[in-house]
Structure 1
Amino acid sequence: MFVSHALKHTSQCPNFSRILMGRGVRALGTNSPVDVKTANELKETVVSEGAGGQELLSSMMDAKIVSNTSSWWSGLEQQQVWSESMSSADAWCSGFLPIEKVQHVVEFLHNHGMSYWGAALCLPFFAKALITMPLITHCARSQAPYLSMLPAAIKEVRQCQSNNRGNTEKLLQEMSAIKKKYGFNPPREMSKQFWGMFVQFPIHLTCLYAICTMHNTYPEWKRGGAYWFSDLSLSDPTWVLPATATGCMLLCVFLNIRLQTRLSTKYDVALSSPFKISLQTMNRISYVFALSLLPVAHAMPAGFNLYMIANILSFSLQTHILRSDLFRNLTNMPSNKYEFKFREQMQLMEKETRSLVTNKTITQEKKSAGKREKLL
């Protein structure tokens, strides 16, 4: 029926019929998504052909050839938005991010019997098993010999930085003396506990661009989903995947808070927030952040929603494995008790440093106020 309607209006609208009989016929005749280039050609041809193109389109609609027209056009618009937003960013990021390699990994898994949506679920587990966990383990093992001396060393570094503001040469000399005194670089050793967190940002950024532009390199990605999310390049219209990602995030926050509370109670360590707020307020902020993930996840394609769900679950699993006494004994990492005592010492040092800075500021303000009074 579609072919007969297209041939009927060939004389009136040859270009429109040519496009539909080419790439457009197959896509419109099935529920498979259409690429953005085909959508643009269809729209431009309707305008250029004038009455002929509009008549053909109206006759197609009367014959009910396109059953899901609204969802089809909305899908095209979503793909077009993603392609336009990712085109410039993709060119900028492809210079230093291995976007194509991640896509090759996904295609490799697909060629060896795994579905595309299954490959999207496996990516975070591979990243944590091959990159994040080995890095965190290495940093913890290399930092272990210096944990007992690190709070005192960091305290001296803070005092040195406070006393030598504006005097770079003297600051470097005193920092070198502190490094020789303790046998290690205190700021560098202190930063190792954040390396595992920092390395995850380029990983997630790479996977974001790789998944959101996957359909440009591998068109089968559009049909690589399952059930209600058959097209991995579009967002989930039922909100099931975004809601699942948000629920997993809330569960992850709850489990991590409970784990930290259990360990701090077990080792009799009173932990506090690293910011100038209470720990309860920090936990509430974490829950609010988890809830705010819902609209963000809905704006992402279904393929990246699957990645987010797997990433949240793998992060919670990674946290519990790294806090396991058995895993720490096998990898020669510092024990939980030793590490929690170190964190308690660091918190005490931070409080002392803040009090010293506050007292110094008050003293300077009093001196400046006395000078102003003398001048008056």
Structure 2
Amino acid sequence: MTLFYNPLRTAFLVRIPQHAARQLPPCRKLPPPSRIACPSHRSAGYSTNAVADLLSSSAVVRCAEKGLQMVHEASGAAWWASILMTVVAARSLITLPFAVLQRRMAERLRLLRPKMDELAQQLAGEVKAAQATRAWSDQRAAAVFRQELRQRRKEFFIRHNSHPAKIFLLPFVQIPLWVAMSFALRNLTAGRAENKAEQTAEELRTGGALWFRDLTRPDRTWAIPLLNGLLTFALAELHFAAIEQATVLVRAMKVFSRFTAILLVPVTAVVPVGVSFYWLLSVLFGFLQFFILSRGNVQRKLGMPVVPRAKTALEKWALTRRELFINSAGLVCDMNYSVRLLLGMVFRLRFAGDLAIPIADTGFILA
């Protein structure tokens, strides 16, 4: 409410009588200085959202803060190297075992798929015979088939200890870890850590490398945001390209992953470099993990069933180019499945092994 209109915008003194001052409403009390978001926090991507503040003060995030500070103090390295070591340690000790379990379960389900198809065909014959004898309608027969197939698949998964729900154990572990580490670095870069807040924030201002020296500010060059979004998009495409059957759920998840990767670019551009650098390292570790677990010798050592995969269009194109290369040069080439899937053509010279099959009179090709 405006009490006075001052068109000249000059300072003047207003005297209020004592009897009128008693009728004025009391002044509102300002919050303590610790609750007021200073401009440096806002510029560093620190918001005053209630949910974000609640997560930032949770016990899991505080433990992640202490873990980062312990790694930094024990190693004596710069903060960017401390974040790198923390990512490698956390992903290797926490998420990698679940990634191995997920890959083992996915390969086992792929191996059991022919039996599941045979089970569905057998049930379809039984339902068709029951429909003829009991005069069921098509809707009734379809409902009975779906209900009975759901029950038999459940019993089949229990009998072979291969329930598909185990595949989703990795996201349930990896997502909370990603959130906890992100909020922990958010607190450290904003000077809101539980211990040694100002000292840690000051070290983070000079603890970067290359073009991102200050880890408390966003990346103004957009190099990390663009690289993070591109790698996230490529990693999602790799995972979905390895899925042979494109169901409605798989297609929906693929679209959602693409949208998330694109949305991640502007989000990464407004958070501190300490947080975005962690996201980039996490994606790079995901690439390394995918390539290692896709190798046949690694799968055998980890007890995973090695299942032959149907070649995609990209792999068929790469196989054709490889045959031309072999026929023209008389050499033996081999391309790893993951690298071939990502790049299309990456050649590596190698002698013919036990998996070699003849494709021409002049040489062999590894299948």
Q: TM-score, normalised by structure 2?
A: 0.54
Q: Matched residues in 2 for 1:312 and 1:147: separation?
A: 26
Q: Which residue of 2 aligns with 1:297?
A: 268
Q: Deviations over 1:250-303 (max 9, x none)?
A: 55456x27x94xx79xxxxxx343337989x958x8666533321011122211
Distance 1:37 1:335, change over 3 A: farther
Asked whether the 8 Å contact 1:242–1:295 carries over to 2, the reply is yes
Q: How does 1:47-58 map to 2 (within 5 A)?
A: none
CA distance in 1, matches of 2:141, 2:71: 56
Query: Residue type of the partner of 1:302?
Result: V
Which residue of 292, 299, 310 corresponds with 1:321? 292
Cα–Cα, structure 1 residues 149 and 120, in superposed 2: closer, same or farther, change >3 Å? same
Q: Spell out, residue by residue over 1:32-58, the C-alpha distance to the aligned partner (whole angstroms, 9 max, x if none).
A: xxxx958959xxxxxxxxxxxxxxxxx
Q: How many residues align?
A: 253
For 1:183 and 1:245, locate their aligned partners in 2 and report how far apart those are by CA, in whole Å. 38
Equivalents in 2 of 1:292, 1:88: separation in Å? 21
- How far the C-alpha of 1:98 sits from its partner, in A, is 1.7
Change in 2 beyond 3 A, CA 1:37/1:193: same
Give me the whole-angstrom Cα distance separating, in 2, the residues matched to 1:251 and 1:139: 20
CA contact (8 A) 1:236 1:298 kept: yes
**1:226 equivalent in alignment to 2:216:** no
1:117 is paired with a residue whose SS is helix
1:143–1:192 CA contact under 8 A, matched in 2: no
- Greater Cα offset, 185-194 or 123-132: 185-194
Counterpart code for 2:219:
D
State whether structure 2 residue 222 is matched by structure 1 residue 239: yes
Q: Deviations over 1:5-29 (max 9, x none)?
A: xxxxxxxxxxxxxxxxxxxxxxxxx
> 2: CA distance between counterparts of 1:90 and 1:296?
18
Ranges in structure 2 where 5+ consecutive residues have no aligned partner: 1-31, 128-138, 311-367
Q: Summarize the Cα distance change of 1:76–1:100 in structure 2 as closer, same or farther, 3 Å threshold.
A: closer
Are 2:88 and 1:125 equivalent residues in the alignment?
yes
Q: 1:186 to 1:209 in 2, by over 3 A?
A: farther
Residue in 2 that maps onto 1:248: 231
Partner of 1:82: 46
CA distance in 1, matches of 2:70, 2:36: 32
Q: Secondary structure at the match of 1:184?
A: helix
Aligned to 1:196: 170
Partner of 2:331: none
Number of the residue aligned with 1:68 = none
2:78 equivalent to 1:115 = yes
Distance 1:118 1:163 in 2: 63
* Code of the aligned partner of 1:193: I
Residue 88 of structure 1, CA deviation:
4.4
Distance of aligned partners of 1:324 and 1:237 in 2 relative to their CA distance in 1, 3 Å threshold = same
Which one of the candidate residues 335, 339, 343 is aligned to 2:306? 335
* 2:82 is aligned with 1:103: no
Shift, 1:323, TM fit: 0.6
- Give the match's secondary structure for 2:279: helix
Q: Which has the higher helix share?
A: 1
Instruction: Give the aligned partner of residue 216 of structure 1.
Output: 192
Paired residues of 2:79 and 2:208 also in contact (CA < 8 A): no
Gaps of 5+ in 1: 1-35, 42-72, 265-270, 342-376
Cα gap change, 1:110/1:183 in structure 2, threshold over 3 Å: closer, same or farther? closer
- Superposition map of 1:1-376 within 5 A: 37=33, 75-79=40-44, 82=46, 84-85=48-49, 88-92=51-55, 98-112=60-74, 113-141=76-104, 148-149=111-112, 182=156, 184=158, 189-214=163-188, 215-217=191-193, 218-223=197-202, 224=204, 225-226=207-208, 228-252=211-235, 256=238, 260=241, 271-275=244-248, 289-337=260-308, 340=309
Q: Distance in 2 between matches of 1:146 and 1:252?
A: 22
1:115, CA displacement in angstroms? 2.0
- Kindly state the Cα deviation for residue 241 of structure 1 after the two structures are TM-superposed: 2.5
The equivalent of 1:8 in structure 2 is none
